[in-house]
Amino acid sequence: MSRLIVISNRVSAPKGEAGAQGGLAVAFAAALREHKGLWFGWSGEPTDRFTGEIDYQDVRGVCTATIDLEDQDIEEYYNGYANRTLWPLFHFRVDLAEFERDFAQGYQRVNERFADTVRPLIEDDDLVWVQDYHLIPLGEELRKRELRNRLGFFLHIPWPPRHLLASLPHARELVSTMFAYDVIGFHTTEWLEAFLDYALGEMGADLLDDGTIRLGDRTVRAISCPIGIDTAEFVAAASSPQARLAYRRMKDSSDGRDLIVGVDRLDYSKGLEERFAGYERFLEEHEESRKEVYLLQIAPPSRGDVETYQRIRATLDGLSGRINGAHADLDWVPIRYVNRGFPRAVLAGVYRAARIGLVTPLRDGMNLVAKEYVAAQDPEDPGVLILSRFAGAALQMTDAVLVNPHSAEELSDAIELALKMPRDERVARWRALMDGVERQDVIWWRKRFTDALARSDQSWEDAPAAAAE
Ligand code: GDG
């Protein structure tokens, strides 16, 4: 069996507590144990001078290898090109995207450093799987270093429409590096088709009869491969003692009111401002039921070094304060807004206590919270998932109440509909959603991708000159 080498910006080793590190770590950990592989990435730590020294750890049978990066690398590659250029642009926010030559250079430099450092660790038969937008050109850099292995890439965020991507300086060069891979994966057919549109329409690539895409003498297979959660683990977490306690705490503090829950990294792509506005519309339009509900929004801060993230935080502080000030009563506050993270089992208990899961990103590659909310429900008395049409998850989760997150009216109507939904309909919708969450879990996702990669043609063996170009 080939070894699996996973390369991502950050590495999160599985900790003692099951699932403490989230779905990706769970998916990779199982595969890395099975394949005796390696997980390579940035430690998250700075260093004065980049040395390429690797810190190896063996955590419960999973081998991780991490490197430290210089402050300038972190600023230009991670905070810069990844999170101030690509992230906003790929989430359709060209208005927030910053195009700086230094960012692009730092991004390229770190990808080269990753390639230099990881290349000697890769053996001939290894399957190599690169993750996400931080590392798009890594495949090309590995090919330049004579890597002929099967090489895959998975994008966890949306692929933007062709004309939006055209606003990125040197977009064609960036996209051409994706042809160094054998297989590239997207969460949905929508992102896959947008990629195809760019590759065929903008770059003159050809779609071949066998479904691969050719550019010059390179071909790549692009697949849609929707990520799932570790459903079995999450279902178990939802009935753990920690979850039961959290469930009880929510029920006790609800005073008979229905809980609406949102859980999101604090990020402008998650549509939190619009969500608060939609909820406020509901409070205004439904005088009779407004005090029967409350919204708990959990939003742990992320990427706090980036100014747009500081701004969204300040905006939401103001908005939640204003809504609470305007609508609260002596014994009722409409929004509980919490800027910190909680253990997964606690989240599972909170999801289970919630009559509505409000998941309304403006744009999201997939969205795992929607799936976690479904997995945590009581089958006898499940809550209702309200889901943005613009999350990748909406293509699979068609039995949710689907909404346009930009429309306060639609959000308000959806909340009303969900609160009034009869039990039979809640159970029927939940059953259909849960079937999908169980069938297409994170292990299914990982296998679907690595199977496609293992089946891909090894054309690099015959074309070392092209590979080294
Ligand atoms: C990217 C893409 C794609 C959140 N708060 C807490 C907490 N979380 C966990 C959730 C969930 C994860 O973080 C968030 O995953 P999402 O998928 O919702 O969003 P991103 O972080 O933006 O992820 C996304 C994903 O990659 C995978 O490909 O679905 O589209 O943007 O698991 O539960 N976890 C804990 N405490 C918290 O307070 N423990």
Q: How far is the CA of 319 from the centre of ligand 1 (A)?
A: 23
Interval between CA 440 and ligand 1 midpoint (Å)? 17
Which tokens in the block code for residue 11? 């590495």
Strands 55-59 and 62-70: antiparallel
**Atom from ligand 1 closest to the CA of residue 267:** 22
CA distances from 303 to 53, 222, 250, 376 (A): 26, 30, 29, 28
Listed residue (187, 236, 225) closest to 375, CA to CA: 236
Return the active site residues.
156, 364
Give per-residue pLDDT as tens, 261-315. 999 999 999 999 999 999 999 999 998 888 899 999 999 998 988 889 999 999 9
Cβ 347 under 6 angstroms from ligand 1: yes
Atom of ligand 1 nearest to the CA of 187: 28
- Would you say the CB of residue 298 lies under 6 angstroms from ligand 1? yes
* Protein residue with its CA nearest to atom 33 in ligand 1: 369
Whole-number Å distance between alpha carbons of 204 and 275 = 41
Sheet of 183-186: strand order equals 55-59, 62-70, 38-47, 4-10, 127-131, 150-154, 183-186, 218-224, 213-215, 206-207
Q: How far is CA 310 from the centre of its chain?
A: 21
The pLDDT assigned to 462 comes to: 47
Phi/psi at 300 (nearest 5 deg)? Answer: -65, 135
Q: In what helix (H) or strand (E) does residue 322 lie, and over which residues does it extend? A: helix 307-327
Residue 15 has what pLDDT? 53
| Coil/strand/helix, residue 172 | helix
Atom of ligand 1 nearest to the CA of 364: 30
Q: Which of 115, 123, 134 shows the shortest CA–CA distance to 67?
A: 115
Beta pairing, strands 206-207 & 213-215:
antiparallel
- Which residue's CA is the nearest one to ligand 1's atom 15? 368
Both tokens assigned to 468:
């080294």
- Please name the residue that has the structure tokens 């006790």: 252
273, two tokens: 């401002």
Q: What is the largest distance, in Å, between two alpha-carbon atoms of the chain? A: 75
In this structure, what are the phi and psi dihedrals at residue 47, rounded to the nearest 5 degrees?
Answer: -140, 155
pLDDT by residue, tens only, the chain of 469 residues: 789 999 999 997 655 443 344 557 767 887 888 888 999 999 999 999 999 999 999 887 889 999 999 999 999 999 999 999 999 999 999 999 999 999 999 999 999 999 999 999 999 999 999 999 999 999 999 999 999 999 999 999 999 999 999 999 999 999 999 999 999 999 999 999 999 999 999 999 999 999 999 999 999 999 999 999 999 989 999 999 999 999 999 999 999 999 999 999 999 999 999 999 999 999 999 988 888 999 999 999 989 888 899 999 999 999 999 999 999 999 999 999 999 999 999 999 999 999 999 999 999 999 999 999 999 999 999 999 999 999 999 999 999 999 999 999 999 999 999 999 999 999 999 999 999 999 999 999 999 999 999 998 765 554 444 333 3
* Residue 150: exposure state from Cβ atoms within 10 A (0-12, 13-18, ≥19): buried
DSSP 354-368: -SEEEE--SSBSS-H
Ligand 1 neighbourhood includes 415 CB (under 6 angstroms): no
365 lines ligand 1 (CB under 6 A): yes
Atom from ligand 1 closest to the CA of residue 344: 39
The residue whose C-alpha atom lies closest to atom 23 belonging to ligand 1 is 367
- Say how many Å lie between the CA of residue 264 and the centre of ligand 1: 7
Residues 6+ apart with CB under 8 A from 253: none
Please tell me the distance between residue 88's alpha carbon and the centre of ligand 1 in angstroms: 17
Write down all domains in the chain, each with its CATH number in brackets: 4-228+443-461 (3.40.50.2000), 231-439 (3.40.50.2000)
The reported pLDDT for the residue numbered 458 is 60
Q: 26: CA distance to ligand 1 center in Å?
A: 13
